[in-house]
Amino acid sequence: MSVRTLEVDGRTITALEGQTVFSAAWDSGIRIPRLCHLGGLSEAGACRLCLVEIEGQKKLQPACLTKVAEDMVVNTATPALLAHRRLIVELLLAERNHVCAVCVLNGACELQDLAAQLGVDHVRLRPQYPSLPVDLSHERFGLDHNRCILCTRCVRVCDEVEGAHTWDVAGRGRNSRIISDLGEPWGDSGSCTSCGKCVQVCPTGALFSKGRTVAEMRKDRGFLRYIMTAREKKLWIS
Amino acid sequence: MTGEVLAQTRDTERERQAGLRERIACCSVAGCLSAGGGEVRAALEKAVNARGLDGQVEVIGTGCLGLCSQGPLVSSAATRQVYAGVTPEDSAALLDGGAGRFQGRTLGPDHPFYAGQRRLILENSGRVDPERIQDYIAQGGYRALLRAASAMSPAEIVAEVKRSGLRGRGGAGYPAGLKWELVARHPASDRYVVCNADEGDPGAFMNRSVLEGDPHRVLEGMAIAGRAVGARQGYIYARGESPLAIARIRTAIAQAQREGLLGGRIFDSDFQFQIDLRIGAGAYVCGEETALLASIEGRRGQPVPRPPYPPERGLWGCPTLINNVETFANIPAIVERGGAWLAAIGAPASPGTKVFALAGRVARAGLVEVPVGTSLRTIVMDIGGGVPAGCEFKAAQTGGPAGGCIPAAFLDLPMDYDTLPGIGSMMGSGGLIVMDTSTCMVDVARFFMEFCMDESCGKCVPCRAGTVQMHGILRRLTRGEAAASDMSMLEELSRLLKETSLCGLGLAAPNPVLSTLRHFRNEYEAHLAGRCPAGRCSIPVPEPV
């Protein structure tokens, strides 16, 4: 496989042909923010946080979907991009109920971390606070729609890795909701294998393990890479 | 069908029509039908029968005659006049020649409504019954397909479309020939042709009227496209909200299949092409091409990031040509009369004609077709007859919720794909809503933002959550509850959506806000100060202290 050389934030980096700008930058220690991307899953291109400026292109491009090219010049953290990212995080925080102080994932939440990293210390938008239910029908897990940012990592991991496709999105726009099967309670789902992958990939406290109280939940982000690597190397086939 | 049979069918039908003393065409698209056009047609048919005129006088349904606001419309082949506001009681006068009865509601070809128009897409209105394929063939229909299937190579067809300079009529104005070439040159073995008939802009009814009035023209255009790009299968993606258009397409497809104009070995060539109908379930975003393809595939109608563009990776991963209804409707004329012929009409960089759905505060509302580059003044003042007495023209909205407003100062600007973006508007697919001085521009922006908020698919954050916040600010403005900081946030959100949204819906959603801010900022400032200059918004008067 051939190698491409490109410039990211003034640094010359090398990447494999076919690699995305996001993963090439990540490999070189340049952490582009993201919420919908997760290594091992297909790309949604939905959170718009990883948008970068590429010289010679008028429109901002999602780093998670843009392939590297020779001599490409990429800027990942211009003032304009940072302003956009802050406003996107503010939009997410205002969209539903994200009160960290009463969340199981307080201290280990990707949305919280990103807000801190981007310096979002207050939200200038009107909070929407829609009245959303919490589904506690599953034996081991819970789903709190108030914390959901609709990144669809759960939908993709369930479909692409577990192969169950329990989760999907219903409704549109601000009425979009993650649903299990055809909208029945999670605990009644016939397709759910209770594997818990969705819980581990969820960036916020929307999907959580029962029995954890405020700030007690921690997610195992490494497990997906472990599974994907093991599959690739066929470690389960003797 | 062979070329000879086509010519024979044409001549037989022409002879039959020439033998008639009179052919009365009743406009049979949704506007006139809802005004009572169906009853008028039934009364006319009954009167013909009662007078024993069967075989001499024929009553047909036909495509949009244009002046929708004054329907039902009826046109007469004998007098070459169009009569407006026809009632069932008028049928005797129509048959027996009581022209005096139609004083003030007769429109001849030289009437200002028609004189300023150039009808190509709508040329068959008044002549062709959308439910009779023979009518379409009698007007020279399917001759272009015959030429494309038997006398032209696919590359020659693409070259002809390129020569015409035709730009996609869906709104973006991408050169049709270039798109065709991309699909035609792709090495994949399976390709598809898709007709985007998911016309959802508020106030827009161009494509629906074309499908209801002249469906065979669109089928023929699609079949020619199939031949040009090497596709064997086409899909029409139509809105479930247009049941009449759906019924007419179904009838037309069945007729074309029966006559061998769709299916295998068309005109005894090795060309085969099938068209199927797919019906949307009421999502505006499904007019976005990647969401439309997802919907055809039976998936959730959500856009996916481009590139890859559909000509490279479209339906089921195959190269796919997507054009809108009006674009396909242009194709038979281009193949029949040559690309150079179309290139000579309209503006040099945007040739051809454009159908506009003229609506809102205008004396004569309806469907108008003009050369691209015609000024807004000609369309609104001459053809549309200006705004009704008592008010003045304020602005016109083009492009629906993705477009912008054109204020009175730009009435003389040519309406084409390159000029309108310069003043913060766009050509769009043809919706043209006229607003007078009683319209509040902040309220207009709020209306379109509410539309985008409701129609956002919810996939990307800027569009899903940003439209909600922008709508909230605009609603506060119209209620006199907004603060000065809301204005800067409105502009910040506009920039965010315009630069970061995933698809065209979110990218264009701020356009009505930005264009009203550009041309009518004073109205926003007045609302901040608690006053609506147009007197539209109910802002509570502050209590005297």
Task: Quote ipTM for the complex.
Answer: 0.95
Q: How many CB pairs under 8 A join A and B?
A: 87
CATH fold of the domain at A3-77: Ubiquitin-like (UB roll) (3.10.20)
Report d(CA B300, CA B286) in Å as an integer. 10
pLDDT exceeds 70 at position B543: no
The listed CATH number (1.10.1660.10, 3.30.70.260, 1.10.3470.10, 3.10.20.600) that belongs to domain B348-434: 3.10.20.600
Per-residue pLDDT at A227: 83
Instruction: Please state whether beta strands B22-27 and B57-62 pair in parallel, antiparallel, or not at all (unpaired).
Output: parallel
Sign of CA dihedral B482, B485, B489, B490: positive
DSSP lists the bridge partners of residue A11 as A8
Q: Is A10 left (phi over 0), alpha (psi -120 to 50) or beta?
A: left
Report d(CA A8, CA A12) in Å as an integer. 6
Residue B101: pLDDT band (50, 70, 90) is confident
Per-residue pLDDT at A231: 83
pLDDT exceeds 80 at position A90: yes
Tokens of B276: 């199927």
pLDDT exceeds 90 at position A56: yes
Per-residue pLDDT at B545: 63
CATH number of B133-344: 3.40.50.11540
Per-residue pLDDT at A238: 59
Chain B residues close to A85, C-beta within 8 Å? none
Min Cα distance B310 → chain A (Å) is 16
Q: What stretch(es) of chain B map to CATH 3.40.30.10?
A: 19-113
- Contact assessment for residue A90 and residue A125, using Cβ atoms and an 8 Å cutoff: yes
Residue A202: pLDDT band (50, 70, 90) is very high
CATH fold of the domain at B19-113: Glutaredoxin (3.40.30)
> How confident is the model over B492-514, as a mean pLDDT?
97
> How confident is the model over B372-392, as a mean pLDDT?
94
Per-residue pLDDT at A235: 81
Interface contact flag, B489 A149, Cβ < 8 Å: no
- Contact assessment for residue B352 and residue B344, using Cβ atoms and an 8 Å cutoff: no
Give the rounded distance of the alpha carbon of B148 from its chain centre: 25
End-to-end C-alpha distance for chain B, whole angstroms = 85
Per-residue pLDDT at B542: 66
Min Cα distance B283 → chain A (Å) is 9
Per-residue pLDDT at A236: 74
CATH number of A83-232: 3.30.70.20
- Contact assessment for residue B64 and residue B119, using Cβ atoms and an 8 Å cutoff: no
Nearest to A128 among B459, B468, B499 (CB): B468
Residue B523: pLDDT band (50, 70, 90) is very high
Q: What stretch(es) of chain B map to CATH 3.10.20.600?
A: 348-434
Interface contact flag, B469 A59, Cβ < 8 Å: no
Report d(CA A52, CA A34) in Å as an integer. 12
Interface contact flag, B464 A95, Cβ < 8 Å: yes
Min Cα distance B101 → chain A (Å) is 53
In the CATH hierarchy, which top-level class contains the domain B441-528? mainly alpha
Identity at B110, one-letter amino acid code: D
> How confident is the model over B402-425, as a mean pLDDT?
93
Chain A residues close to B469, C-beta within 8 Å? 91, 94, 125-126
Which residue in chain A is spatially nearest to B471 when comparing CA positions? A126
Give the model confidence (pLDDT) of B248-286 as tens digits. 999 999 999 999 999 999 999 999 999 999 999 989 999
Q: Is A183 on the interface with B (CB under 8 A)?
A: no
Closest by CA to A34, choosing from A24, A19, A46, is: A46
> How confident is the model over B133-152, as a mean pLDDT?
96
Per-residue pLDDT at A212: 81
Which residue in chain A is spatially nearest to B465 when comparing CA positions? A91
Interface contact flag, B461 A60, Cβ < 8 Å: no
> How confident is the model over B395-416, as a mean pLDDT?
94
Per-residue pLDDT at A224: 82
Identity at A184, one-letter amino acid code: E
- Contact assessment for residue A36 and residue A101, using Cβ atoms and an 8 Å cutoff: no
pLDDT exceeds 80 at position B98: no
Element spanning A62, H or E: strand A61-62
Report d(CA B96, CA B102) in Å as an integer. 13
Closest by CA to B308, choosing from A43, A157, A48, A4, is: A43
> How confident is the model over B217-223, as a mean pLDDT?
98
Q: Is A21 on the interface with B (CB under 8 A)?
A: no
How many residues are present in chain B?
545
Q: What stretch(es) of chain A map to CATH 3.30.70.20?
A: 83-232
Give the model confidence (pLDDT) of B62-81 as tens digits. 999 999 999 899 999 999 99
**Surface-to-core class of residue A3, CB atoms within 10 Å of its CB (0-12 exposed, 13-18 middle, 19+ buried):** exposed
Per-residue pLDDT at A1: 67
Residue A223: pLDDT band (50, 70, 90) is confident
Report d(CA B504, CA B501) in Å as an integer. 8
Per-residue pLDDT at B385: 95
Per-residue pLDDT at B96: 85
Instruction: Please state whether beta strands B192-197 and B320-324 pair in parallel, antiparallel, or not at all (unpaired).
Output: parallel
Give the model confidence (pLDDT) of B199-216 as tens digits. 999 989 999 999 999 999
Interface contact flag, B469 A126, Cβ < 8 Å: yes
Q: What stretch(es) of chain A map to CATH 3.10.20.740?
A: 3-77
Q: How does DSSP classify residue A175?
A: G
Per-residue pLDDT at B74: 96
Which residue in chain B is spatially nearest to A65 when comparing CA positions? B305
Interface contact flag, B500 A51, Cβ < 8 Å: yes
Min Cα distance A235 → chain B (Å) is 32
Q: What is the mean pLDDT of chain B?
A: 95
